[in-house]
């Protein structure tokens, strides 16, 4: 999909902005009142937004760490956070 003047560049969008636009796209497509060609274009933008959100989440997860404590309960360092622990 080509980027037009009123479509923000994904690289400049935050996770929250991307997710909000993706939710709008899903809502429009679920309503079913969009012409076929426009639906395809909107769907392609939605896929790009989904991938962008996924990439941003993976980067955020890589940065999340938990503080480790020594036997006395004092902070001793960090280690990767295992989500779902």
Query: What average pLDDT does the structure give for the chain?
Result: 85
Question: Which range is least confidently modeled, 22-31, 46-55, 58-67?
Answer: 58-67
What is the residue extent of each domain of the chain? 10-80
Residue 84 clears pLDDT 70, i.e. is over it = no
Task: Please state which CATH number belongs to domain 10-80.
Answer: 1.10.287
- Where residue 5 falls among pLDDT bands split at 50, 70, 90? low
Measured torsion, CA atoms of residues 64, 23, 6, 54, in degrees rounded to the nearest 10: 30
Global pTM value: 0.69
Whether 2 and 45 have beta carbons less than 8 Å apart is answered as no
């Amino acid at each position: 999909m080509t980027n037009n003047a009123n479509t923000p560049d994904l690289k400049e969008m935050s996770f929250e902005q991307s997710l909000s636009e993706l939710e709008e796209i899903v809502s429009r497509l679920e309503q079913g009142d969009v012409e076929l060609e426009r639906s395809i274009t909107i769907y392609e933008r939605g896929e790009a937004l989904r991938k962008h959100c996924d990439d941003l989440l993976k980067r955020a997860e890589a940065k999340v760490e938990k503080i480790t404590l020594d036997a006395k309960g004092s902070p001793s360092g960090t280690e990767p956070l295992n989500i779902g622990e």
